[in-house]
A and B are shown apart, each in its own frame.
Chain A
């Protein structure tokens, strides 16, 4: 890619999980040869349907899974390189890369108070010298995410979904990271609360300059929050472009149908718009089609698609597409 300074670079990342079928173990290719980069302070949206490997990408970046192959560079440091056999200890980097989880119910330990949940990263990285300092930091974080300081001693289960997600965000922010993986952070929330949390993500980015990898399946939300959007299908990156560019000018047939399938919250437009309905289902990742994985449902598919998976190619303005025909 270009000479530009990136915060995070991912090259040819592969993440296979062994799955036993009878006595044989076959690899489930959750992420297969994915490359992208994120600039400091930027939001990259990652969209795709369930099972496309978007969550796995996020978790592999944070090395919650051991990558099968590829190269991860963060802030100039190589964290993992399968060719050169580099595999660093992640502990110091956990202060710089954090994660916000999808389910605000299962991502907070029900036996811990809010104070202890937010305080845990401070404890682990020993980011305070006195008890008072710890408490002050926690209260500061709670204020930052819009939580009432009086609630510090309450347990997570006493809060509503939106407030719980705020607690999760405060926990991620406690170590003052430069990069946060947001794994579907608003999907489990009610519409009216979603907007609160989306706004908060945007405000925090302005204030703290963090970069996000924003994983979601809701295209409207992703479009709203992201600078650039990457589209995944069955472990492969299909298209990556500027958010508005992708929305106005989608090139990959999958992106096209994905965008047209989004129900528009406007009755008149909805009546007029013609949906491109994709036939059939997503193939099982254990029985991946040869070549391009999307060809089984694609209207443009040719023989070439069955032979080889196309590489991401530059179509100008940082718009990359992996398709033979478009």
Chain B
């Protein structure tokens, strides 16, 4: 608890905006969280919730129109938001790595897999060609690619989707980073391949001890992979806490609705209970809680004011006015 760098990564009040022709799009709107070494943090939310932008903000690989407007990202206590491009390029890859949804577009089609792996290794470690090649083969073996000696001579298009994602993971982990950010790593893959990749990631985490930030919309993936979960909506965090707390004791109306709306073993023969309304328009954000236009129990205050975050239990933070309302009523009841 009292150690210098208890947390690998601290994100504090992060705001990221994109400046488009149609105005400022506030993709991330004041989020804060901390990442403990060796754990898996899940960021879950629907499209436009800002979950990917959060990941890109940490890596500082935002598109040209986007930038961090406010807040800070600290790696081992150092604020990296004001680092130079040179410092950052050393940081990316060797300290924090990212894998993307589509492994086809993140590998360069004109170079062999081996060349791309070796280049990544040599860039960050200063190993010579032979050593890099050996390391590449070692990494491919580690991620479960069969016949790595012949695979390194193949081009990305000769590999299947699952294989490509394995190569991407090998590339991301070749410099043994402390943090692996996985942006929807299995969304483009089939269920059986998804299971392979998730298993592989858990395996590698045990072996290499890196922390994983898992960005996804799939509650199933989150449930089976993550220790801690952030639920995001409209660029803000609805609630965060351990996986059990979020799944069994959801405190925000959005999380509750989300959990009600997915088909599960126990509701197969009942109607699903969807969240009504349409997803948020980021160009036209509500003043108050981002979720209030779709919230069944929205109150007058939800329309105008964003609630502060508060602890609901030892390891569970939420920000929903309904809990505050309950507390106010309880207090009055006790007072009277």
Contact = CB atoms under 8 A, between A and B. Distances in A.
- Direct contact between the two chains A and B in their complex (CB within 8 A): yes
A265 B274 contact: no
B279 interface: yes
Given A198-B272, A217-B190, A265 B160 contact: no
B262 to A, nearest CB: 5
Interface in A228-278: 243-244, 247, 257-258, 260-268, 270-271, 275, 277-278
Contacts of A277: 192, 195-196, 199
Interface stretch (A134-142, A189-197, A301-309): A189-197
A50 B46 contact: no
Interface residues of A, number: 43
Given A191-B217, A281-B163, A263 B244 contact: no
A192 B291 CA distance: 12
A217 B194 CA distance: 12
Interface in B228-273: 243-244, 247, 257-259, 261-265, 267-268, 271-273
Size bin of chain B's contact surface? 35 or more
Interface in B32-55: 46-47
B18 to A, nearest CB: 18
Interface stretch (B72-80, B117-125, B219-227): B219-227
B224 A267 contact: yes
Interface in B274-308: 274-276, 278-279, 294
A199 interface: yes
A267 B160 contact: no
Given A162-B278, A268-B244, A281-B160, A194 B190 contact: no
A204 interface: no
Nearest to B274: A195
Contacts of B217: 190-191
Interface string A204-224: 000000000000010111011
A87 interface: no
A161 B110 CA distance: 35
Nearest to B266: A266
A96 B294 CA distance: 36
The B contact surface, by secondary structure, is helix
A49 interface: yes
A296 interface: no
B191 interface: yes
Instruction: With a 10 A CB-CB cut-off, give which of A49, A219, A221, A266 has the most chain B CB atoms.
Output: A266
A174 B273 CA distance: 27
A275 B194 CA distance: 11
Contacts of B46: 190-193
Nearest to B220: A263
B201 interface: no
A163 interface: yes
A221 B276 CA distance: 18
A50 B191 CA distance: 10
A264 to B, nearest CB: 6
Contact of A196 (B191, B220, B274): B274
A37 interface: no
B77 to A, nearest CB: 31
A81 interface: no
Given A195-B262, A275-B199, A224 B272 contact: yes
Contacts of A195: 261-262, 272-275
Contacts of A278: 192, 195-196
Given A190-B217, A220-B264, A264-B223, A281 B275 contact: no
B263 A221 contact: yes
Contacts of B265: 264
Contacts of A162: 278-279
B162 interface: yes
Interface string A71-114: 00000000000000000000000000000000000000000000
Contacts of B243: 267
Contact of B268 (A244, A264, A275, A282): A244
A35 B182 CA distance: 41
Contacts of A224: 263, 267-268, 272
B104 interface: no
A33 interface: no
Contacts of B268: 223-224, 243-244, 247
Contact of B194 (A196, A263, A281): A263
Contacts of B278: 160, 162-163, 193
A163 B243 CA distance: 32
B244 A199 contact: no
Contacts of B176: none
A190 B218 CA distance: 9
16 contacts: A49-B190, A161-B47, A191-B258, A191-B261, A192-B46, A192-B257, A196-B274, A199-B272, A199-B274, A261-B192, A263-B194, A263-B224, A265-B223, A265-B262, A277-B199, A281-B163
Interface of B: 46-47, 160, 162-163, 190-196, 198-199, 217-224, 243-244, 247, 257-259, 261-265, 267-268, 271-276, 278-279, 294
Given A194-B261, A262-B191, A263-B198, 4 more contacts: A192-B279, A261-B195, A270-B220, A278-B196
